[in-house]
Amino acid sequence: MKNFTCVQDIGNLKTALDEAFEIKKDRFKYVELGRNKTLMMIFFNSSLRTRLSTQKAALNLGMNVIVLDINQGAWKLETERGVIMDGDKPEHLLEAIPVMGCYCDVIGVRSFARFEDREYDYNEVILNQFIKYSGRPVFSMEAATRHPLQSFADLITIEEYKKTARPKVVMTWAPHPRPLPQAVPNSFAEWMNATDYDFVITHPEGYELDPKFVGNARVEYDQMKAFEGADFVYAKNWAAYTGDNYGQILSKDRDWTVSDRQMAVTNNAYFMHCLPVRRNMIVTDDVIESPQSIVIPEAANREISATVVLKRLIEGL
Protein backbone atom coordinates (compact mmCIF):
# COMPACT_ATOMS: atom_id res chain seq x y z
CA MET A 1 0.00 0.00 0.00
CA LYS A 2 1.46 3.37 -1.06
CA ASN A 3 -1.08 5.72 0.58
CA PHE A 4 -4.47 5.25 2.25
CA THR A 5 -7.20 7.81 1.61
CA CYS A 6 -10.25 5.85 0.39
CA VAL A 7 -11.82 2.39 0.09
CA GLN A 8 -10.03 1.66 -3.18
CA ASP A 9 -6.68 1.84 -1.39
CA ILE A 10 -7.54 -1.10 0.88
CA GLY A 11 -7.85 -3.48 -2.07
CA ASN A 12 -9.92 -6.63 -1.68
CA LEU A 13 -12.38 -6.09 1.18
CA LYS A 14 -12.58 -9.75 2.18
CA THR A 15 -8.79 -9.95 2.44
CA ALA A 16 -8.71 -6.77 4.51
CA LEU A 17 -11.44 -8.05 6.83
CA ASP A 18 -9.68 -11.40 7.26
CA GLU A 19 -6.54 -9.49 8.22
CA ALA A 20 -8.51 -7.33 10.66
CA PHE A 21 -9.95 -10.36 12.46
CA GLU A 22 -6.54 -12.02 12.52
CA ILE A 23 -5.07 -8.92 14.19
CA LYS A 24 -7.99 -8.69 16.59
CA LYS A 25 -7.11 -12.16 17.90
CA ASP A 26 -3.48 -11.12 18.48
CA ARG A 27 -2.90 -7.37 18.38
CA PHE A 28 0.85 -7.74 18.89
CA LYS A 29 1.47 -10.44 16.28
CA TYR A 30 3.42 -7.99 14.11
CA VAL A 31 5.14 -6.05 16.90
CA GLU A 32 8.56 -6.51 15.27
CA LEU A 33 7.37 -5.12 11.94
CA GLY A 34 7.56 -1.49 13.05
CA ARG A 35 10.80 -1.69 15.02
CA ASN A 36 12.88 1.45 14.37
CA LYS A 37 10.07 2.92 12.26
CA THR A 38 8.42 6.21 13.21
CA LEU A 39 4.84 7.36 12.68
CA MET A 40 4.16 11.09 12.62
CA MET A 41 0.54 12.07 13.32
CA ILE A 42 -0.37 15.61 12.24
CA PHE A 43 -3.58 17.17 13.54
CA PHE A 44 -5.01 20.32 12.02
CA ASN A 45 -8.23 19.55 13.97
CA SER A 46 -9.26 18.07 17.31
CA SER A 47 -9.41 14.34 17.90
CA LEU A 48 -10.04 11.72 20.58
CA ARG A 49 -10.68 8.28 19.03
CA THR A 50 -8.48 8.88 15.99
CA ARG A 51 -5.57 10.10 18.07
CA LEU A 52 -5.75 7.34 20.66
CA SER A 53 -6.60 4.43 18.38
CA THR A 54 -3.97 5.27 15.76
CA GLN A 55 -1.26 5.77 18.35
CA LYS A 56 -2.24 2.45 19.98
CA ALA A 57 -2.13 0.75 16.59
CA ALA A 58 1.39 2.08 15.98
CA LEU A 59 2.52 0.79 19.38
CA ASN A 60 0.98 -2.61 18.57
CA LEU A 61 3.33 -2.70 15.58
CA GLY A 62 6.37 -1.62 17.58
CA MET A 63 6.59 1.87 16.05
CA ASN A 64 7.79 5.12 17.57
CA VAL A 65 5.15 7.87 17.48
CA ILE A 66 5.44 11.65 17.10
CA VAL A 67 2.27 13.74 17.49
CA LEU A 68 2.09 17.30 16.17
CA ASP A 69 -0.87 19.60 16.79
CA ILE A 70 -0.78 22.37 14.21
CA ASN A 71 -1.48 25.81 15.76
CA GLN A 72 -0.94 24.38 19.27
CA GLY A 73 2.76 24.47 19.96
CA ALA A 74 3.83 24.63 16.31
CA TRP A 75 4.22 27.55 13.93
CA LYS A 76 1.02 28.60 12.23
CA LEU A 77 1.18 27.36 8.66
CA GLU A 78 0.24 29.11 5.44
CA THR A 79 -1.33 26.69 2.95
CA GLU A 80 -1.85 28.85 -0.15
CA ARG A 81 0.72 29.57 -2.85
CA GLY A 82 1.18 33.16 -3.99
CA VAL A 83 0.33 34.63 -0.60
CA ILE A 84 2.50 37.50 0.70
CA MET A 85 3.30 36.10 4.13
CA ASP A 86 3.14 39.30 6.16
CA GLY A 87 0.51 38.03 8.62
CA ASP A 88 0.53 35.66 11.60
CA LYS A 89 1.71 32.58 9.66
CA PRO A 90 5.52 32.49 9.59
CA GLU A 91 5.96 29.11 7.86
CA HIS A 92 4.58 27.64 4.65
CA LEU A 93 3.20 24.14 4.46
CA LEU A 94 5.35 23.46 1.39
CA GLU A 95 8.53 23.84 3.49
CA ALA A 96 7.05 22.24 6.60
CA ILE A 97 5.88 19.06 4.84
CA PRO A 98 9.26 17.86 3.50
CA VAL A 99 10.87 18.73 6.85
CA MET A 100 8.30 16.56 8.62
CA GLY A 101 9.10 13.78 6.17
CA CYS A 102 12.74 13.89 7.25
CA TYR A 103 11.79 12.77 10.77
CA CYS A 104 9.49 9.81 10.12
CA ASP A 105 8.63 6.83 7.94
CA VAL A 106 4.82 7.18 7.73
CA ILE A 107 2.60 10.26 8.05
CA GLY A 108 -1.03 10.46 9.18
CA VAL A 109 -2.93 13.69 8.50
CA ARG A 110 -6.20 15.00 9.95
CA SER A 111 -7.61 18.08 8.22
CA PHE A 112 -11.32 18.90 8.05
CA ALA A 113 -13.31 20.77 5.42
CA ARG A 114 -13.25 24.53 5.94
CA PHE A 115 -16.63 25.22 4.28
CA GLU A 116 -15.14 28.33 2.65
CA ASP A 117 -14.75 26.88 -0.84
CA ARG A 118 -16.29 23.57 -1.90
CA GLU A 119 -13.80 23.09 -4.73
CA TYR A 120 -10.87 23.59 -2.35
CA ASP A 121 -12.35 21.14 0.16
CA TYR A 122 -13.25 18.47 -2.38
CA ASN A 123 -9.84 18.70 -4.07
CA GLU A 124 -8.33 17.66 -0.70
CA VAL A 125 -5.63 20.31 -1.07
CA ILE A 126 -3.87 19.78 2.27
CA LEU A 127 -3.92 15.97 2.20
CA ASN A 128 -2.66 15.91 -1.39
CA GLN A 129 0.16 18.35 -0.56
CA PHE A 130 1.41 15.86 2.03
CA ILE A 131 1.20 13.04 -0.51
CA LYS A 132 3.07 15.12 -3.11
CA TYR A 133 5.79 16.73 -0.99
CA SER A 134 6.48 14.56 2.08
CA GLY A 135 8.30 11.71 0.37
CA ARG A 136 6.55 9.32 2.78
CA PRO A 137 3.47 7.08 2.69
CA VAL A 138 0.49 9.16 3.84
CA PHE A 139 -2.82 8.04 5.31
CA SER A 140 -5.93 10.04 6.10
CA MET A 141 -7.00 10.38 9.74
CA GLU A 142 -10.04 12.25 8.34
CA ALA A 143 -9.86 14.71 5.50
CA ALA A 144 -12.35 17.13 3.96
CA THR A 145 -14.29 14.47 2.05
CA ARG A 146 -13.57 11.09 3.69
CA HIS A 147 -12.79 9.35 6.99
CA PRO A 148 -11.56 5.94 5.80
CA LEU A 149 -10.21 4.60 9.11
CA GLN A 150 -13.64 5.18 10.66
CA SER A 151 -15.45 3.56 7.74
CA PHE A 152 -13.18 0.52 7.80
CA ALA A 153 -13.89 0.14 11.53
CA ASP A 154 -17.62 0.50 10.79
CA LEU A 155 -17.40 -2.31 8.24
CA ILE A 156 -15.51 -4.55 10.67
CA THR A 157 -18.23 -3.91 13.27
CA ILE A 158 -21.09 -4.72 10.91
CA GLU A 159 -19.36 -7.93 9.85
CA GLU A 160 -19.04 -8.92 13.52
CA TYR A 161 -22.66 -8.23 14.41
CA LYS A 162 -24.62 -9.05 11.26
CA LYS A 163 -27.11 -11.91 11.50
CA THR A 164 -27.74 -12.28 7.79
CA ALA A 165 -25.38 -12.39 4.82
CA ARG A 166 -26.88 -9.26 3.28
CA PRO A 167 -28.06 -6.94 6.07
CA LYS A 168 -30.06 -3.80 5.49
CA VAL A 169 -27.91 -0.82 6.54
CA VAL A 170 -29.52 2.61 6.84
CA MET A 171 -27.52 5.80 7.16
CA THR A 172 -29.70 8.58 8.51
CA TRP A 173 -29.12 12.31 8.76
CA ALA A 174 -29.90 13.72 12.20
CA PRO A 175 -30.01 17.30 13.53
CA HIS A 176 -27.02 19.09 15.05
CA PRO A 177 -26.47 22.65 16.32
CA ARG A 178 -23.38 23.22 14.15
CA PRO A 179 -22.58 22.55 10.48
CA LEU A 180 -20.54 19.37 10.18
CA PRO A 181 -18.46 18.14 7.21
CA GLN A 182 -19.69 15.43 4.87
CA ALA A 183 -16.51 13.34 5.39
CA VAL A 184 -18.04 10.61 7.58
CA PRO A 185 -21.26 10.11 5.59
CA ASN A 186 -19.36 10.29 2.29
CA SER A 187 -16.89 7.71 3.46
CA PHE A 188 -19.47 5.42 5.07
CA ALA A 189 -21.48 5.47 1.85
CA GLU A 190 -18.39 4.72 -0.22
CA TRP A 191 -17.46 1.70 1.91
CA MET A 192 -21.03 0.37 2.09
CA ASN A 193 -21.32 0.62 -1.69
CA ALA A 194 -18.21 -1.57 -1.94
CA THR A 195 -20.15 -4.38 -0.21
CA ASP A 196 -23.28 -6.23 -1.30
CA TYR A 197 -25.34 -4.91 1.62
CA ASP A 198 -28.80 -3.45 1.12
CA PHE A 199 -27.78 0.17 1.68
CA VAL A 200 -30.19 3.08 2.14
CA ILE A 201 -29.49 6.77 2.81
CA THR A 202 -32.22 8.91 4.36
CA HIS A 203 -32.19 12.67 4.90
CA PRO A 204 -34.39 15.74 4.47
CA GLU A 205 -34.52 17.32 1.02
CA GLY A 206 -31.58 19.65 0.51
CA TYR A 207 -29.07 17.38 2.23
CA GLU A 208 -28.15 15.36 -0.87
CA LEU A 209 -24.53 14.19 -0.84
CA ASP A 210 -22.09 14.25 -3.73
CA PRO A 211 -23.45 11.66 -6.21
CA LYS A 212 -20.06 9.98 -6.52
CA PHE A 213 -20.35 8.93 -2.87
CA VAL A 214 -24.07 8.10 -2.96
CA GLY A 215 -23.31 5.64 -5.74
CA ASN A 216 -25.88 2.85 -5.96
CA ALA A 217 -27.45 3.54 -2.57
CA ARG A 218 -31.21 4.04 -2.41
CA VAL A 219 -32.08 7.55 -1.22
CA GLU A 220 -35.28 7.83 0.82
CA TYR A 221 -36.61 11.15 2.12
CA ASP A 222 -39.12 9.46 4.45
CA GLN A 223 -37.04 8.41 7.46
CA MET A 224 -39.65 6.04 8.89
CA LYS A 225 -39.98 4.26 5.56
CA ALA A 226 -36.20 3.97 5.30
CA PHE A 227 -35.95 2.41 8.76
CA GLU A 228 -38.44 -0.37 8.03
CA GLY A 229 -36.72 -3.73 8.43
CA ALA A 230 -33.28 -2.21 8.98
CA ASP A 231 -30.59 -4.38 10.61
CA PHE A 232 -28.20 -1.50 11.28
CA VAL A 233 -28.91 2.22 11.74
CA TYR A 234 -25.97 4.57 11.29
CA ALA A 235 -26.79 8.11 12.43
CA LYS A 236 -24.76 11.15 11.43
CA ASN A 237 -25.26 14.84 10.84
CA TRP A 238 -23.83 16.65 7.86
CA ALA A 239 -24.16 20.14 6.44
CA ALA A 240 -25.60 20.79 3.00
CA TYR A 241 -23.41 19.94 0.01
CA THR A 242 -25.26 21.26 -3.02
CA GLY A 243 -24.99 24.68 -4.67
CA ASP A 244 -24.83 27.88 -2.68
CA ASN A 245 -25.97 26.00 0.43
CA TYR A 246 -22.60 24.27 0.79
CA GLY A 247 -21.66 24.10 4.47
CA GLN A 248 -25.01 25.46 5.64
CA ILE A 249 -27.54 24.19 8.17
CA LEU A 250 -30.91 23.88 6.45
CA SER A 251 -32.79 22.11 9.21
CA LYS A 252 -32.68 21.28 12.92
CA ASP A 253 -35.85 19.20 12.76
CA ARG A 254 -35.88 17.12 15.93
CA ASP A 255 -38.28 14.66 14.32
CA TRP A 256 -35.14 13.22 12.70
CA THR A 257 -33.50 12.51 16.08
CA VAL A 258 -33.17 8.72 16.32
CA SER A 259 -35.52 7.53 19.06
CA ASP A 260 -37.50 4.46 20.07
CA ARG A 261 -40.17 5.61 17.61
CA GLN A 262 -37.94 5.02 14.59
CA MET A 263 -36.14 1.98 16.01
CA ALA A 264 -39.49 0.24 16.60
CA VAL A 265 -39.98 -0.31 12.85
CA THR A 266 -36.52 -1.83 12.34
CA ASN A 267 -35.52 -5.48 12.53
CA ASN A 268 -34.29 -4.93 16.10
CA ALA A 269 -31.51 -2.93 14.49
CA TYR A 270 -28.13 -2.17 15.98
CA PHE A 271 -27.45 1.52 16.47
CA MET A 272 -24.14 2.97 15.26
CA HIS A 273 -22.45 6.37 15.41
CA CYS A 274 -18.83 7.42 14.91
CA LEU A 275 -18.78 9.54 18.12
CA PRO A 276 -18.69 12.09 19.64
CA VAL A 277 -22.46 12.24 19.64
CA ARG A 278 -24.82 15.00 20.75
CA ARG A 279 -27.36 13.15 22.87
CA ASN A 280 -30.99 14.05 22.31
CA MET A 281 -30.03 15.82 19.08
CA ILE A 282 -28.60 12.93 17.06
CA VAL A 283 -29.99 10.13 19.24
CA THR A 284 -31.99 9.82 22.45
CA ASP A 285 -30.51 8.56 25.70
CA ASP A 286 -32.70 5.46 25.55
CA VAL A 287 -31.44 4.38 22.13
CA ILE A 288 -27.74 4.98 22.68
CA GLU A 289 -27.88 3.26 26.06
CA SER A 290 -29.89 0.28 24.80
CA PRO A 291 -28.42 -3.22 24.38
CA GLN A 292 -28.62 -2.69 20.60
CA SER A 293 -26.22 0.25 20.73
CA ILE A 294 -22.79 -0.85 19.49
CA VAL A 295 -21.06 2.53 19.48
CA ILE A 296 -18.39 1.38 21.96
CA PRO A 297 -17.38 -1.81 20.09
CA GLU A 298 -17.45 0.31 16.93
CA ALA A 299 -15.02 2.78 18.49
CA ALA A 300 -12.83 -0.05 19.77
CA ASN A 301 -12.49 -1.33 16.22
CA ARG A 302 -10.74 1.90 15.27
CA GLU A 303 -7.60 0.36 16.77
CA ILE A 304 -8.00 -2.65 14.50
CA SER A 305 -8.62 -0.70 11.28
CA ALA A 306 -5.62 1.53 12.00
CA THR A 307 -3.39 -1.47 12.75
CA VAL A 308 -4.25 -3.10 9.41
CA VAL A 309 -3.57 0.11 7.49
CA LEU A 310 -0.29 0.89 9.28
CA LYS A 311 0.87 -2.71 8.84
CA ARG A 312 0.32 -2.51 5.11
CA LEU A 313 2.00 0.89 4.81
CA ILE A 314 5.07 -0.40 6.66
CA GLU A 315 5.17 -3.51 4.47
CA GLY A 316 5.19 -1.22 1.44
CA LEU A 317 8.24 0.77 2.56
Establish whether 75 is an annotated binding residue.
yes
Establish whether 17 is an annotated binding residue.
no
Establish whether 302 is an annotated binding residue.
yes
Establish whether 114 is an annotated binding residue.
no
Establish whether 35 is an annotated binding residue.
no
Establish whether 48 is an annotated binding residue.
yes
Is residue 242 packed enough to be buried (19+ CB in 10 Å), middle (13-18) or exposed (0-12)?
middle
DSSP three-state, residue 283:
strand
The alpha carbon of residue 149 and the mean position of all alpha carbons in its chain are separated, in whole angstroms, by 5
Q: What are phi and psi of 96, to 5 degrees?
A: -65, -40
Establish whether 236 is an annotated binding residue.
yes
DSSP three-state, residue 68:
strand
Distances in Å between the alpha carbon of 84 and those of 32, 80, 89, 90, 187? 47, 10, 10, 11, 36
Establish whether 146 is an annotated binding residue.
no
Is residue 156 packed enough to be buried (19+ CB in 10 Å), middle (13-18) or exposed (0-12)?
buried
Report the half-sphere exposure of 280 (CA within 13 A, side-chain side).
Answer: 1
Establish whether 149 is an annotated binding residue.
yes
Establish whether 261 is an annotated binding residue.
no
Establish whether 127 is an annotated binding residue.
no
Q: Is the dihedral of CA 302, 304, 308, 311 positive or negative?
A: positive
Specify binding-site residues for N(2)-succinyl-L-ornithine. 142, 176, 236, 278
Specify binding-site residues. 47-50, 75, 110, 142, 147-150, 176, 236, 274-275, 278, 302
Specify binding-site residues for carbamoyl phosphate. 47-50, 75, 110, 147-150, 274-275, 302
